[in-house]
Structure formats: structure tokens, C-alpha cells
A and B are shown apart, each in its own frame.
Chain A
Amino acid sequence: QVQLQESGPGLVKPSETLSLTCAVSGYSISSGYYWGWIRQPPGKGLEWIGSIYHSGSTYYNPSLKSRVTISVDTSKNQFSLKLSSVTAADTAVYYCARCGIAVAIDYWGQGTLVTVSS
């Protein structure tokens, strides 16, 4: 069974960089599929941030592209998110998931709340 688990700081200061990692178990990232990040501000809807293929090919949400970097470490079977220059508007629950083109999002992490505050 495929499982995803997010990890990283729950509190980030404004203007700093948010960093999260998603560990995948039950499936080898190198076997295929896109893997990505989705966020949900408190009380609001879902926003796709970006996705990465095991080869390193990435796609980002244009609204966040200038601040986002997603990377993959196939040796550790995990992928990571970096979001720079954060503000309070970046406060959200961040989910990692198996998400890409032509495939629905069938596996999600439990989500981790990241608060941007000084």
C-alpha cells in the first residue's frame, strides 16, 4: 500500500524559506508517476503547487513558480518542496500526493500545517 508522509517545520518566519519533505513507502518513485504538493489555507480550497517526475522534470503553478522548487531523491524515495519569501498568505496545510497529468490524485499524505509568523 502506497503511503506518503510529510515532514518539516510547522512554523516559518516571514521572508524565509518553507521546506518540506515527503517520504514515500510502498512504491518506488523511480517506477513512474508524478509526485507533487498541494496546499489548503485554513477554511479555504485546494491549490496545486507543483509536481515532479522521477527524472526530475517539473511543472509548477504559474502563480507560485517564481518562488517554488520541487526536487526528488530517488535513493531515499522522497521528494521535497521549497517555497521562498513566504508571507502570512502561505500559511496552509501542505499535502504531498501522487499527482500529475492523466492520473487522478489517488494517494495523499495526511497533511502538515505550516504557519508563517514572526
Chain B
Amino acid sequence: EIVMTQSPATLSVSPGERATLSCRASQSVSSNLAWYQQKPGQAPRLLIYGASTRATGIPARFSGSGSGTEFTLTISSLQSEDFAVYYCQQYNNWPLTFGQGTRLEIK
């Protein structure tokens, strides 16, 4: 099983600033890495797939990078609606696995 490790667990950032979230895989997942945003009481929403491709309707302030085992989600100029929990997920191998999440909170 591929273990996905996200850091930090919690990130405090002021609106308008940049947030950088990290995700590490215990073995290579190529570019088969996705990022999801989850707000309270809602299902996760796909933000990024293929490590760097924005999903339909996702604003350009969200960007993903990386391949292999190291990945980054960057949110430039944070908006109030961006404060949520973010998960990475690998879909390169069974079983599908998620990171434990990063909570992005308002500083």
C-alpha cells in the first residue's frame, strides 16, 4: 500500500497571502496524484488531477506541481472561500489512498 503523507497538518495563512501544501508518497505514483478541497458538511471537490491539471471550473489561483513522490498544491492570494481541508490522493495503484489532510485556517 502506498502511504500518502501531507504536511503541515494545519496551516494558518492570512487572506491575500500564498499557501503551499505538501504531499509525499511512500513510492512513486508517477503523475497520478489528485488534490481535493473539502468544506464542512460537503463532499470533497476535485481541484487538481494529473498532479498539475486544474479540474473544470477551478480558479487559476490553484496550481499543482510535482511527480514521482513529491507534490505541492499552491494557492496564490487566498480568498475567504479557500479556507477548508485539503487532501491529496494517489490513483496509480490499488488500494487507492489519501493523505491525512491539511487544514487551511485563517490567520
Chain A residues within CB distance 8 Å of chain B: 36, 45-48, 51, 59-62, 95, 99-106, 108-111
Contacts and interface: CB of A to CB of B under 8 A. Distances in A.
Kindly name the residue among A46, A47, A59, A101 whose own CB sees the greatest number of chain B CB atoms within 10 A.
A46
User: Chain B at the A interface: mostly helix, strand, loop or mixed?
Assistant: loop
Interface of B: 1, 32, 34, 36, 43-46, 49-50, 55, 87, 89, 91-101
Contacts, number: 60
Given A59-B95, A111-B43, A45 B101 contact: yes
Nearest to B30: A102
B95 A61 contact: yes
A33 to B, nearest CB: 12
Given A110-B43, A111-B43, A102 B96 contact: no
Contacts of A105: 34, 36, 44, 46, 89, 91
Contacts of B55: 104, 106
Kindly name the residue among B34, B55, B92, B96 whose own CB sees the greatest number of chain A CB atoms within 10 A.
B96
A51 B97 CA distance: 13
Nearest to A93: B43
A79 B49 CA distance: 25
